[in-house]
Amino acid sequence: MKIRKTLLIAAIMLISFIFTTESATTNRVNTPAVLTNVVNPVKIALVSDVHINRGTNQARYMANYEKVIEQVNRENVDVVIISGDLTEDGTPSEYSDFRSLTKKFKSTVYFIPGNHDIGNKKIGGKKGEINFNRLAGYQIYFGKTWFSTTVGNVKIIGANSCLMGSGMKKETEMWKFLEKEMPRKPKLPIVFVTHHPLYEKNIEEKGGEYWNVEPAERFRLIGLFQQSGVVAALSGHLHRPLTNQYNNVLYYTTHPVSFGLPQGKQKPGWTLVTVSKNGIELKPFFIEPSK
Ligand SMILES: [Fe+2]
């Protein structure tokens, strides 16, 4: 009886040790089979929510961005991905400032728009939703609002989550592109990037609100993820970090460049995402916000 009790206590201690160790680390690792094709680790700087503006926060957010660029450059990353809200209001002068600063990255940079650049996702004719003029304004400046690239043995796809569910002509064009880029029987693992996280708390959570991708488009994406070897879905928008996992896909939202939420509690910064055959490692970097 005494031995059994000792064994039980030992088991409880072991389990609590495992849980304590897991929650103490910031790294999250998953190992889908397709990752074994990654010969050399690929280092991605995930940067988001820069909010370049010409208003009262102009100097502060610009200074934050310069600090992040310096940190990223020191890490010798393979590629920089900026997951939207490049600017506050998507004006030509803001785009111009964003472009000048972004040239300071040493590595190749890819970016996609966020709701502050081109408007909120369409959820029923509310103010500030995506429209032709705002989308065109971005495209005139930067071209397409989605991309696909291969870095080492990792494919990285960026998509415009503000456009999803809008019914606009460009949306049809984007889904065609995504279906082509995300085929069955993948050779390389895919890292997928949008501005909005697909979900916050629950894969089946409702839409009609500000923070997530609407359920119809969320499940359309999940279908593509499952067939095409997506290992991670990265995003911004929340202005705070968030990690989830569903069906062997890591869902990760980075903290922002401009300002964290809750204000004063969440420090700004960026995340180094390293993809290797052992899994995906997340390393958050923080900056002292400029006054
Ligand atoms: Fe933002």
| pLDDT top residue among 36 and 242 | 242
pLDDT band at 16 (very low <50, low <70, confident <90, very high): very low
Q: Looking at the predicted structure, is the pLDDT value of residue 12 above 60?
A: no
User: From ligand 1's centre to the CA of 51, what distance in Å?
Assistant: 7
For residue 184, being part of any structural domain is answered with yes
Confidence (pLDDT) at 2? 53
CA 96, CA 49: separation in Å to the nearest integer?
16
Query: 17 lies in a domain?
Result: no
Q: Note whether residue 267 is domain-resident.
A: yes
The Cα angle at residue 165 between residues 136 and 45, in degrees rounded to 5: 70
What per-residue confidence (pLDDT) applies to 239? 98
User: What's residue 126's pLDDT?
Assistant: 79
> For residue 31, with 0-12 CB atoms within 10 Å meaning exposed, 13-18 middle and 19 or more buried, which class applies?
middle
Mean pLDDT of the residues in the chain = 91
pLDDT greater than 90 at residue 187: no
- State the pLDDT at residue 10: 52
Residue 8 lies in a domain: no
Q: What is the pTM of this model?
A: 0.89
The 3-state secondary structure of 162-227 reads CCCCCCCHHHHHHHHHHHHHCCCCCCCCEEEECCCCCCCCCCCCCCCCCCCCCHHHHHHHHHHHHH
CA distances from 183 to 165, 217, 249 (A): 22, 18, 16
CA of 183 to the centre of ligand 1 (A): 31
**pLDDT tens digit string along 202-229?**
999 999 999 999 999 999 999 999 999 8
Cα Rg of the chain (Å, integer): 20
With respect to residue 82, please indicate whether it lies within any of the assigned structural domains: yes
Contact, 69 vs 82, CB < 8 A? Answer: no
* Closest to 72 measured CA to CA, from 85, 61, 59, 81: 81
- Decide if pLDDT at 20 tops 80: no
pLDDT of 132 higher than 90: yes
Note the pLDDT of residue 3.
Answer: 53
Lowest mean pLDDT among 41-55, 86-100, 179-193: 179-193
Calculate how far, in angstroms, residue 20's C-alpha sits from the geometric centre of ligand 1.
32
Tokens of 165: 């569910």
Does 32 or 37 have the greater pLDDT score?
Answer: 37
What confidence tens digit (pLDDT) does each residue in 73-100 have? Answer: 999 999 999 999 999 999 999 999 999 9
Local structure of 108: helix, strand or coil: strand
How many Å apart are CA 107 and CA 130, to the nearest integer?
31
Give the Å distance between the CA of 86 and the centre of ligand 1.
8
Return the CATH number at 66.
3.60.21.10
* pLDDT tops 90 at residue 28: no
Tell me what the mean pLDDT of segment 64-80 comes to.
Answer: 98
249-273 residue pLDDT tens: 999 999 999 999 999 899 999 999 9
Q: What's the gap in Å between 156 CA and the centre of ligand 1?
A: 21
pLDDT at 244 over 90: yes
Residue 133 resides in a domain = yes
Tally of domains in the chain: 1
* Cα(50) to centroid(ligand 1), Å: 7
Task: Write down the pLDDT at residue 6.
Answer: 55
Task: Tell whether 18 is covered by a domain.
Answer: no
Domain-embedded: residue 3: no
Q: Find the mean pLDDT for residues 121-128.
A: 88
Residue 85 domain boundaries: 27-286
What was the pLDDT predicted at 31? 61
Q: How far is the CA of 270 from the centre of ligand 1 (A)?
A: 13
Give the pLDDT confidence score for residue 33 in this predicted structure: 78
What residues sit around ligand 1, an ion, with C-beta below 5 angstroms?
49, 85
Average pLDDT of 7-16?
A: 47
